Amino acid sequence: MKRLALAGTTALFLTFLIAPAAMAEDKPKPPKSVRLYVFDCGSLTMSAPATFGFTKEEIGEKQPFAVPCYLVVHPKGTLMWDVGVIPDSQVNGTTQGISTVTKTLKSQLAEVGYSAGDIKYLALSHLHSDHTANANDFAGSTWLVHQNERDAMFAPAPAGGRGGRGGPMASASYIKLKDSKTTILTDKDYDVFGDGTVVIQYAPGHTPGHQILFLRLKQSGPILIAGDLYHLPQEINMHRFPTFEFDKEQSAASRAKVEAFVQQTGARLWIEHDLATFTMLKKAPAFYE
């Protein structure tokens, strides 16, 4: 017994000796230029074309949606953008309702050398539950949000039946953000690291303070991660809108502005839920830079 206990103590002592050095090596060094990692945070099976303004003849009966999460690593810090549909603690490769998640966000972050506690900034495209599942894990980050979105997230009940479609599951998933260090954004572009490479744009309509992310990468060029400004690429040319927009006129105005911006900058437009886009993207641990 005594020998065993001694062995245990020695092992513990060695762990203390080794751990700090190993940990220091594990932390990735800031890159020289901006990197973007795309994580697989699951999928959704929608089966209501009318909800997105289409007939089943136009887009089929079922619409498989991707659910990506994104990590931006800038020389000056990190930004997590959208955090999944099922909390990591409940991920076991099975399906919850229309959602399926096979890999935790935590494990995918770890694979590229990060944990939620390392992340400097958190931004959600919007409050819906398929974008907020792991938000509580990032409560130690600085939260970048518009006032009207934040208000909708913590409103006791959706005002006038509009907006705040987060539901109880969504609010549980982000409740800890209430006490996070928070930066309230305005309707002007928000340049996260001050050099124009990572910019949050206000694109309201889908929800009160819906936002999108513009990246200017050295090799990959300009990319616009469009949140749920659209769900399907057909919405662009066929001018269709989901039935559950917070304000459809606002969405139309946001889309017009974004489409002009894409024309002008030549940015690639990534519709987050578009499975065709998601399928062809490089996934972490590979990255765009």
Residues of this chain that interact with Zn ion (CB under 5 A) are 130, 228
Q: In what order do the strands lie in the sheet with 35-46?
A: 95-96, 99-100, 35-46, 63-74, 77-81, 121-123, 142-146, 182-185
Judged by beta carbon, residue 44 or residue 177, the one nearer Zn ion is 44
Output the smallest distance, CB 51 to Zn ion, in A.
12
Least spacing, CB of residue 260 vs Zn ion, in Å: 24
Q: Which is nearer to Zn ion, 193 or 278 (CB)?
A: 278
Q: Find the shortest distance in angstroms from Cβ 39 to Zn ion.
A: 15
Nearer to Zn ion, 63 or 197 (CB): 63
Q: Which is nearer to Zn ion, 197 or 207 (CB)?
A: 207
State in angstroms the smallest separation of the CB of 123 from Zn ion: 15
Q: Which is nearer to Zn ion, 69 or 73 (CB)?
A: 69
Chain-centroid distance of CA 186 in Å reads 20
**In this structure, which amino acid lies at residue 94?**
T
Smallest Cα–Cα separation from 208: which of 172, 254, 139?
Answer: 254
Question: Residue 131 CB, nearest distance to Zn ion (Å)?
Answer: 6
- Angstrom distance (rounded) from CA 273 to CA 126: 13
Start-end of H helices in 72-166:
105-111, 147-154
The answer to whether the bond into 285 is cis (omega within 30° of 0) is: yes
Pair type for strands 35-46 and 63-74: antiparallel
Q: 3-class SS at 133?
A: coil
Tell me whether residue 228 or residue 274 sits nearer to Zn ion (CB atom): 228
Q: Identify which of 146, 28, 24, 126 has the alpha carbon closest to the alpha carbon of residue 78.
A: 28
As a 3-state breakdown, the chain gives helix, strand, coil percent values, each rounded to 5, of 35, 25, 40
Instruction: Report, in Å, the least distance between residue 48 CB and Zn ion.
Output: 14
